[in-house]
């Protein structure tokens, strides 16, 4: 278990949690949290930061790179759904007069 990735709970800095268990831990730990409200990162719901720190977090969030690369690859897949404009509807070349 020493080689599995750990993270620090955003609600209690003394909690060191396996990353794969972080979502469940956050749900339980947030119920006992009495500090200022934390904002949720739009790239990873387990990232919780103070609202005034969110802009800085979003600029440096490691999951932003994963999110953006996925978004780019999905848009590349959908780039050419329609046939090129030089083809007619029945996929035969358009005849020029």
DSSP string, 22-68: HHHHHHHHHHH--SS--EEPSS-TT-EE-GGGHHHHHHH-HHHHHHH
* pLDDT for residue 59: 92
Q: What is the dihedral of CA 29, 34, 36, 39, to 10 degrees?
A: 20
Which candidate, 59, 53, 61, 46, places its Cα nearest to that of 15? 46
- Each of the 97 residues of the chain gets a pLDDT tens digit; together they read 568 899 999 999 999 999 999 999 999 999 999 999 999 999 999 999 999 999 999 999 988 888 777 666 666 666 655 666 665 556 555 566 5
**3-state DSSP assignment of residue 8:** strand
- Whole-prediction pTM value? 0.65
Burial of 48 (C-beta count, 10 Å sphere; 0-12/13-18/19+): buried
* pLDDT for residue 87: 59
């Amino acid at each position: 278990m020493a080689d599995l990735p750990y993270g620090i709970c955003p609600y209690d800095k003394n909690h060191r949690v396996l990353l794969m268990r972080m979502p469940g831990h956050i749900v339980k730990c947030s119920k006992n949290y009495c500090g200022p409200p934390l904002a949720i990162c739009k790239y990873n719901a387990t990232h919780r930061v103070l609202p005034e720190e969110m802009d800085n977090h979003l600029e440096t969030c490691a999951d932003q790179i994963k999110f953006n690369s996925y978004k780019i690859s999905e848009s590349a897949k959908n780039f050419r759904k329609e046939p090129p404009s030089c083809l007619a509807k029945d996929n035969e070349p358009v005849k020029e007069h």
